[in-house]
Amino acid sequence: MMKLRYAGLLCASAMLLAPVSSASANDELLTMQTDASQWVMPLGNYSSTRFSTLKQINRDNVKNMRVAWSFSTGVLRGHEGGPLVIGNMMYVHTPFPNKVFALDLSKDGAIAWTYEPRQDNKVIAIMCCDTVNRGVAYAAGKIFLHQSDTTLVALDAKTGKVAWSAVDGDPNVGETGTSAPTIAGNLVLIGNSGGEFGVRGHMTAYDIATGKQVWRAYSQGPDSDTLMDPKKTTVLGKAVGKDSGLAGWKGDQWKLGGGTTWGWTSFDPTTNTIFYGSGNPGTWNPAQRPGDNRWSMTIWARDLTTGKAKWVYQMTPHDEWDYDGINEMVLVDRQWKGKDRKLLVHFDRNGFAYVMDRMSGELLGAEKFDPAVNWASSVDLKTGLPVRVPEMSTEKTGEDIPTKGICPAALGSKDQQPVSYSPDTGLFYIPGNHVCMDYEPTKVAYVAGSPYVGATLLMYPPKGETNLGRFVAWDPVAQKSVWEIKEQFSVWSGPLATSGGVVFYGTMEGYLKAVDAKTGEVLYRFKTPSGIIGNINTYTFGGKQYVAVLSGVGGWAAIGMAAGLSGDTDGLGAVGAYRGLSDYTNLGGTLTVFEVPG
Amino acid sequence: MIKMKSGRRMLAAALTCLAATAGYSQTTEPAAAPAAAAPVSWSTFSGWKRYHGNCATCHGPDGMGGTFAPSLVNSLKAIDQDKFMDTVVNGKANAQLAMPSFGADPNVMCYIEDIYGYLKARSDGALPRGRPANPPAKPKDFADAEAACMGV
């Protein structure tokens, strides 16, 4: 049945996307990602646009939207990511203990199978920012799950039976798994978590048929670890040189070098290249790790088949604020200054929206997407270096002294929650944080498996403001925001833009909102059972369009917000203007599926 | 790899030393009048700092609780210092929540008295939310004990 359905689409999609290797077991995904009736990968398609051409639900009728059905996951804590829809099955994942439910859409969402791995619950305590998981992946009749304990498991999509499993890392030293797998060619790729534990970040490729490790690429260390070629791998057009992943570290500190890879991976099949980012370097106390700390906080372009690095760009050398560079890389083809370019657009934690030529790694643009950003005044496009504001340097201020009023906070102007890009409006839709911080570095000793943080943070909204979140429509070419919606709490939900002229997103109080893609006018909202930190998707079943989202408040932002972020000594003049998230919502994982009747 | 210099004996010795400097400013002022609060001791300030470095990730800012772990402002009304120490040193686990054991972590154990003192002050309503105002300079005996205990 599935084969027949895709056959009709093959011709059309072959014109858009030329598969690079003829024999890939999952060439089907190149086709499936263009089929709007399904949602086949976490970010919707390989370009990570989270856009759907469906338009049954549109700006005229979305006001009539209602709940079609819902499903409890039975799991508390933060539900990030979102379900996949493959044929008549929906695959729903949960935070630890990482259950997977296969729901049969032809039987009103009846449970076809459930999978629950056996994991040592000690792993809960080493997950810095809640026991989140950002979703499963599909290919070749299998569902791939990246467990908290770093195990990657392949399940038969029909039965839930384990086909193979592979262990990616060691929770005893603080390595965990939170990211969704990415499947490209014959490989399933996973990045690791544990940046608050002094682990080494790496991206690893496994054979989808057997689970055998094919390559592993670290974020630091000698060329044999980073899979960099001293002459061929480039940074802003220049060769990186020998062992560049050892440069910018004092002594052996690269061995505690962080640079974890817990975000999202995009894939350009025309050049066989994957794109992802690396996170914070080692401890958050910058004085304890002198140097540029390469290649933390870096955008990576690697050859899919070999893992060899094509180009890199380090956004925040020698981080002093925990601005992980792991946010998604969106691949769009647009005119840039009169010339057709293959672009990579990235909204970084550090508050800058980067535009790069994804073929060459050239830096084309970098502008603040939140006006509150104050740690750097600009980014020098020639050197690629941020122009830092000395008053905001936590290293200059020194250990045991707070540097006050830094924007953004460590949460970033945006965290992992992925953006959406609409080719219809040409706009990006950014789920944003609007939080500043005091940051006080302290001495920290490394103990394997214990937090290696070394900083105390206070977070609060920018001076004179009370909203902790923003939902922003952004023109990537003009590098300007077009409209924005202020939200009381961080927007920690990946939006969905559709050809219906509507953008959907969730809020931490639990609202699913539908807004006009052109104007930001709120057209519909519904309060789901718990706060939303999941990503919205859409699909059709029986010819009818549905919109689905996971609720289940938690995640990093919810830690502080649950108790209210503002201390009463902050002197913001906003005491009492906003209260804790716990006044608005409660824990609990629920899937809610929406429809427009008729 | 950096190794922990001190064994438990060294930790214990340092703790005894720290305990001598522990103790927080007990003010009977209600929490609603932070501006008038007496200056805190270094130990209370140190407790605030280390709590937010190691505990607040789960237990929330100012001991207020988070979505993963209970409010210690409330918990310390129900458990005594021995029980607090036992939980921090040995941890505990159940199906959905887990408290790690910090018994071998100098980032916590070198400051455990400070952390307890800070949280107790919060629990007793003696200390308002936020960074304690006007902390004193770090006393030399504290700095020496810290260096010996932390080994960095």
Q: Per-residue pLDDT tens for A244-259? A: 999 999 999 999 999 9
Nearest-by-Cβ selection for A442 from B49, B56, B131 = B49
Radius of gyration of chain B (CA): 15
Q: What are phi and psi of A211, to 5 degrees?
A: 80, 10
Cβ <8 Å between B65 and A563: yes
Exactly one of A223, A322, A370, A570 is catalytic; name it. A322
CB-CB contact of A574 with A117 (8 Å)? no
Q: For residue A508, how far is the Cα from the chain centroid?
A: 17
Q: Nearest to residue A455, comparing CAs of A412, A386, A376, A395?
A: A395
CB burial of A339-375 (b: ≥16 within 10 Å; e: otherwise) equals eebbbbbbbbbbbbbbbbbbbbbbbbbbbbbbebbbb
Which stretches within A288-397 are classed as H helix?
A: 394-397
d(C-alpha B32, C-alpha A487), whole Å? 28
- The least confident of A145-159, A544-558, B47-61 is B47-61
d(C-alpha A529, C-alpha A586), whole Å? 8
CATH of the domain at B138: 1.10.760.10
Cβ <8 Å between A444 and B152: yes
Find residues 107-136 of chain B whose CB sits inside 8 Å of chain A: 107, 128-131, 133
Chain A partners within 8 Å of B7 (Cβ):
none
Nearest-by-Cβ selection for A440 from B49, B128, B129 = B49
With a pLDDT cut of 70, the percent of chain B lying above it is 71
Residue B146 lies in a domain: yes
Residue B2 lies in a domain: no
Nearest-by-Cβ selection for B52 from A128, A255, A456 = A456
Indicate the burial class of A183 (C-beta count within 10 angstroms; 0-12, 13-18, 19 or more).
buried
- pLDDT tens string A498-526: 999 999 999 999 999 999 999 999 999 99
Total domains, chain A: 1
- pLDDT tens string A56-114: 999 999 999 999 999 999 998 899 999 999 999 999 999 999 999 999 999 989 999 99
Helix pair angle (B8-21, B112-123), 10° resolution: 40
**Mean per-residue pLDDT, A541-546:** 97
Chain A partners within 8 Å of B62 (Cβ):
563, 567
Residue B64 clears pLDDT 50, i.e. is over it: yes
- The least confident of A117-131, A197-211, A528-542, A573-587 is A573-587
CB-CB contact of A139 with A26 (8 Å)? yes
Q: Nearest to residue A173, comparing CAs of A260, A100, A102?
A: A260
Residue of B10, B67, B68 to mutate, interface with A, max A Cβ within 10 Å: B67
Residue B87: which domain range? Answer: 43-150
- pLDDT tens string A401-452: 999 999 999 999 999 999 999 999 999 999 999 999 999 998 899 999 888 9
**Mean per-residue pLDDT, A165-185:** 97
Residue A564 clears pLDDT 70, i.e. is over it: no
CATH of the domain at A250: 2.140.10.10
Q: What is the reported pLDDT for A560? A: 65
With an 8 Å Cβ cutoff, is B2 touching chain A? yes
Residue A480 token pair: 């300007």
Residue A113: which domain range? Answer: 2-595
A:B CB pairs within 8 Å: 137
Which residues does residue A506 pair with via DSSP β-bridges, in sequence order? A512
Residue A56 token pair: 């049954």
- The least confident of A11-25, A294-308, A412-426 is A11-25
Q: What is the reported pLDDT for B61? A: 83
Residue B92 lies in a domain: yes
Residue B3 lies in a domain: no
Residue A560 token pair: 């502080």
Cβ <8 Å between B61 and A563: yes
CB atoms within 10 A of CB A584: 18
d(C-alpha A537, C-alpha A29), whole Å? 17
Radius of gyration of chain A (CA): 22
Q: What is the reported pLDDT for A565? A: 64
d(C-alpha A337, C-alpha A343), whole Å? 12
Query: Is position A568 annotated as part of the catalytic site?
Result: no
Cβ <8 Å between B60 and A456: no
d(C-alpha A355, C-alpha A333), whole Å? 11
Chain A partners within 8 Å of B53 (Cβ):
442, 444, 451, 453-456
Residue B22 lies in a domain: no
Cβ <8 Å between A124 and B95: no
Total domains, chain B: 1
Q: What are phi and psi of A191, to 5 degrees?
A: -105, 160
Q: How confident is the model at residue A298 (pLDDT cuts 50, 70, 90)?
A: very high
d(C-alpha A449, C-alpha B142), whole Å? 27
Residue A232 token pair: 């061929």
Q: Tokens 């995640």 appear where? A: A555
Q: Nearest to residue A400, comparing CAs of B55, B18, B137, B107?
A: B137
Give CA torsion, residues B21, B24, B26, B30, to 10 deg: 170
Looking at chain A, which residue has its C-alpha nearest residue B151? A445
Nearest-by-Cβ selection for B151 from A252, A440, A445 = A445
Q: What is the reported pLDDT for B65? A: 83
Q: What is the reported pLDDT for B38? A: 66
Looking at chain A, which residue has its C-alpha nearest residue B2? A446
Q: Nearest to residue A199, comparing CAs of A279, A135, A264, A124?
A: A279
Query: C-alpha distances in angstroms, A464 versus A326, A468, A570?
Result: 30, 12, 12
Q: How many CA atoms lie within 13 A of A523 on its CB side?
A: 23
d(C-alpha A574, C-alpha A516), whole Å? 31
With an 8 Å Cβ cutoff, is B47 touching chain A? no
